[in-house]
Amino acid sequence: MHTFTHSLGKLVLGLMFFSSASGPLFAQIKPTIANTISLNAYADNWCVIFINGKMVAIDSIDFLPHNQVSVKILPEYPMTIAVLAKDNAEPATGLEYGTQIGDAGFILKLGDGTVTNAKWKAKSFFTGPLNSNVGSPAVLRTPLPARWYGSDFDDSTWGVATEYTAARVGPDGDYVASDFTGASFIWTSDLNLDNTVIFRTTVQAPAGYVKRWNTTPDLDVSQLPVELLPVVTTSGPGGQLANLSCRAQVGTGDGVIIPGFVLSGSAARTVLVRAVGPGLAAFGVAGVLADPTITVFRGDTVVASNDNWQTQTNPQAVATAAVTTGAFALAAGSRDSALVLTLEPGAYTFRVAGVGNATGVALVEVYVLP
CATH number, domain at 157? 2.60.120
Strand partners, 184: none
Does residue 76 sit in the same domain as residue 217? yes
Q: Residue 15: inside a domain, yes or no? A: no
Does residue 254 sit in the same domain as residue 212? no
Does residue 95 sit in the same domain as residue 133? yes
Q: How confident is the model at residue 83 (pLDDT cuts 50, 70, 90)?
A: very high
For residue range 162-195, what is the model confidence (pLDDT) as tens digits?
999 999 999 998 899 999 999 999 999 999 999 9
Does residue 351 sit in the same domain as residue 250? yes
pTM flag (> 0.85):
no
What single DSSP character describes residue 236? S
Average pLDDT, stretch 80-99?
90
Does residue 143 sit in the same domain as residue 256? no
Does residue 198 sit in the same domain as residue 269? no
User: Which range, of 1-5, 117-121, 291-295, 343-347, averages the lowest pLDDT?
Assistant: 1-5
Q: What is the distance between the alpha carbons of residues 280 and 313, in angstroms, rounded to a whole number? A: 25
Going by C-alpha positions, the residue among 367, 296, 287, 355 that lies closest to residue 330 is 367
Average pLDDT, stretch 44-70?
91
Going by C-alpha positions, the residue among 289, 256, 269 that lies closest to residue 348 is 269
Q: Residue 234: inside a domain, yes or no? A: no
Q: Residue 360 — φ and ψ, nearest 5°? A: 155, 180
End-to-end Cα spacing for the chain: 74
Write the Ramachandran bin of 369: left for phi over 0, alpha for psi from -120 to 50, otherwise beta: beta
Does residue 223 sit in the same domain as residue 255? no
Q: Which helix (H) or strand (E) holds 149?
A: none
Residue-wise DSSP of 174-190: T--GGGGTT--EEE-S-
Q: Residue 140: inside a domain, yes or no? A: yes
> Which residues make Cβ contacts (< 8 Å) with residue 27, sequence separation at least 6?
16, 17, 18
How do strand 301-307 and strand 260-263 relate by DSSP bridges?
A: unpaired
Of the three residues 228, 261, 278, the one that is the final residue of a domain is 228
Residue 215, helix vs strand vs coil: coil
pLDDT at 19 over 60: no
pLDDT at 143 over 80: no
Distances (CA, A) of 124 to 52, 58, 140, 192, 197: 21, 19, 10, 12, 4
Of the three residues 200, 228, 256, the one that is the final residue of a domain is 228
Going by C-alpha positions, the residue among 323, 326, 338 that lies closest to residue 278 is 338
> Average model confidence (pLDDT) for the chain?
84
Does residue 151 sit in the same domain as residue 258? no
Q: Residue 12: inside a domain, yes or no? A: no
For residue range 258-279, what is the model confidence (pLDDT) as tens digits?
888 888 778 888 999 999 999 8
Does residue 222 sit in the same domain as residue 248? no
What burial class does residue 322 get, using C-beta atoms within 10 Å of its C-beta: 0-12 exposed, 13-18 middle, 19+ buried?
buried
R_g of the chain, CA atoms, integer Å = 27
Q: What is the distance between the alpha carbons of residues 120 and 115, in angstroms, rounded to a whole number? A: 9
Residue-wise DSSP of 279-319: GGGGGT--SB-SSEEEEEEETTEEEEEEESTTSSS-HHHHH
For residue range 293-350, what is the model confidence (pLDDT) as tens digits?
999 998 888 999 999 999 888 888 898 888 888 888 888 889 999 999 999 988 888 8
Q: Residue 40: inside a domain, yes or no? A: yes
Write the Ramachandran bin of 347: left for phi over 0, alpha for psi from -120 to 50, otherwise beta: beta
pLDDT at 17 over 90: no
Q: What is the distance between the alpha carbons of residues 281 and 283, in angstroms, rounded to a whole number? A: 5
Q: Could you tell me the residue range of the domain that residue 286 belongs to?
A: 243-368
pLDDT at 53 over 80: yes
**Residue 167 CA from chain centroid, whole number:** 26
Instruction: Report whether 245 contacts 368 (CB < 8 A).
Output: no
Instruction: Report whether 161 contacts 81 (CB < 8 A).
Output: no
Q: Residue 16: inside a domain, yes or no? A: no
Does residue 283 sit in the same domain as residue 339? yes
Tell me how many domains the chain contains: 2
Going by C-alpha positions, the residue among 320, 321, 304, 324 that lies closest to residue 312 is 304
Q: Residue 209: inside a domain, yes or no? A: yes
- What pLDDT was estimated at residue 170? 94
Q: Residue 188 — φ and ψ, nearest 5°? A: -75, -175
Q: Residue 308: inside a domain, yes or no? A: yes
Going by C-alpha positions, the residue among 26, 77, 81 that lies closest to residue 50 is 81
Average pLDDT, stretch 211-239?
60
Taking the CA atoms of 161, 163, 169 and 171 in sequence, report the sign of the dihedral they define.
Answer: positive
Does residue 223 sit in the same domain as residue 258? no
pLDDT at 67 over 60: yes
Does residue 224 sit in the same domain as residue 248? no
For residue range 21-51, what is the model confidence (pLDDT) as tens digits?
444 456 888 889 999 999 999 999 999 999 9
Of the three residues 178, 201, 228, the one that is the final residue of a domain is 228
